[in-house]
Amino acid sequence: MKKIKKIKTSLCLLALSVSTAYAGGFENARLDTSFMYDEGNLVSFGSVRKDFTVNGDNFGTTSSLIGDRNASNLSARYEVNDQLSFGLTSYDSGAIHINYQGVGGATVNGVDVNTLGPKVDLTSKSVALLGRYRFDESVSAIGGIRYDKFSVKNADIFKIANFLASSGTTSGVAPNVGSGTDVVPVAAIAYEIPDIALRAELLYQGKSLVNLESDCVMPTCAASPTDKSFGGLANYLTLNFQTGIAEDTLILASIHKGKWSDSQLSVRDSELSGAGQDGPTSAFEDSTEFSVGLARRLNDSLAVSVSYNWEKAGDGTTGSLFTVNDGYKGVTLGVRYTVEDLELSVGYNHTKLGDVTYSNAVLGSNRLEGNDVRAIGAKATLRF
């Protein structure tokens, strides 16, 4: 059997998974372990810019409800010997930039959502320390930990929440919410057939949970109470697969599952509806994202790739203002150019967001359709 020349799978897909579906959580970028299967020592840096166009027919009529965001990644790998290697990667793992205020909208049943709607800015940054051990040419395992840090700049959700829960009360300002950290396990097992560039990896990441101090800002709060808000990243299980199908040609695929129904966000305020907010603020659902791609090396310096990524749609309705789409479909194009020990990659992604209708007995409905996300990214890898 003719041996298929190895193609480095980091070449030009650039981890441009959009991960926008608030119905399925707030993942901004995935943990990328592909550099751990590379050879020798390396350091890489990548950055992606995501531009959102998310409008509704009643809320968000003049500007996007979702703010633009960045996702960067810095990775390094050190090879001890043929069997053992270590890696460190830092990336922007989660983000919510949602704003109903000042983006246009109708007054429904006396409620001006353009003034009272939620405004949230939450980010999480993660650092993963990984070690890989090769048992033989075919089987290897990765183990490590992931450190997550969560920060909240805006958590203005109680004006609209008070109106819905307290028969028209709209007073109160946004609470101050602190930051928090957590450490979770990471583990992977991989099977490889080098002659055909085949690799199947099953990657597990534990669920993180942070408690964030928040102050109470409702007019009837007791003196200086302190409540606990909470949130975190979901439990993830990912299957990554690649195999050569011809010389210098790879097919790549992945299935990425997030257990978001167990990872809701909650911002506490003691006097909401008189008894405090006991349930979650969000209404995240479990998500399963799919991707399939083709990578082709044209010569020793130039390689190209194309991939299709999607998440299946549900019933197309929601009762949460945080849900702005129902599934998605996207295409990513990439190019990699190699100059001696330096690899430069660029990529572009266009994702169409699935249509969804928000419905509430007081606020009425908001139809979000025809929305999309455009992302452009670049990555540089230096081997030494």
User: Is 4 exposed, middle or buried, given 0-12, 13-18 or 19+ CB atoms closer than 10 A?
Assistant: buried
Q: CA 262 → CA 43, 210, 234, 282, 365, distances in Å?
A: 35, 13, 7, 11, 27
Q: Is residue 330, in this structure, part of any structural domain at all?
A: yes
Q: CA 369 → CA 16, 54, 102, 106, distances in Å?
A: 22, 8, 20, 17
Domain tally for the chain?
Answer: 1
Q: Is residue 5, in this structure, part of any structural domain at all?
A: no
Q: Which amino acid belongs to residue 153? A: K
pLDDT of residue 159: 74
Distance CA 283, CA 320 (A): 6
Q: Is residue 272, in this structure, part of any structural domain at all?
A: yes
Q: Is residue 1, in this structure, part of any structural domain at all?
A: no
Could you state, in chain order, the average pLDDT of each consecutive group of 10 residues for the chain (384 residues)?
Answer: 47 49 77 94 94 94 93 95 97 93 84 86 96 97 97 82 62 75 97 95 96 69 58 94 93 95 78 49 88 93 93 90 91 93 93 93 90 93 94
Distance CA 348, CA 346 (A): 7
Q: CA 377 → CA 154, 160, 247, 301, 360, distances in Å?
A: 27, 36, 27, 19, 38
Q: Is residue 197, in this structure, part of any structural domain at all?
A: yes
pLDDT of residue 167: 52
pLDDT of residue 228: 67
Output the CA angle 107-110-115, nearest 5 degrees: 55
Quote the domain boundaries for residue 141: 22-383
pLDDT of residue 319: 87
Q: Is residue 331, in this structure, part of any structural domain at all?
A: yes
Q: Is residue 17, in this structure, part of any structural domain at all?
A: no
Residue 40: count of CB within 10 angstroms of its CB: 11
Q: Considering only CA atoms, which of 151, 360, 172 is closest in space to residue 270?
A: 172
Q: Is residue 103, in this structure, part of any structural domain at all?
A: yes
Residue 358: count of CB within 10 angstroms of its CB: 21
Interacting residues of 354 by C-beta distance below 8 A, sequence separation 6+ = 21, 311, 313, 316, 325, 326, 327, 328, 329
CATH code of the domain in which 166 resides: 2.40.160.60
Q: Where are the alpha helices (DSSP H) in 110-244?
A: 113-116, 158-165
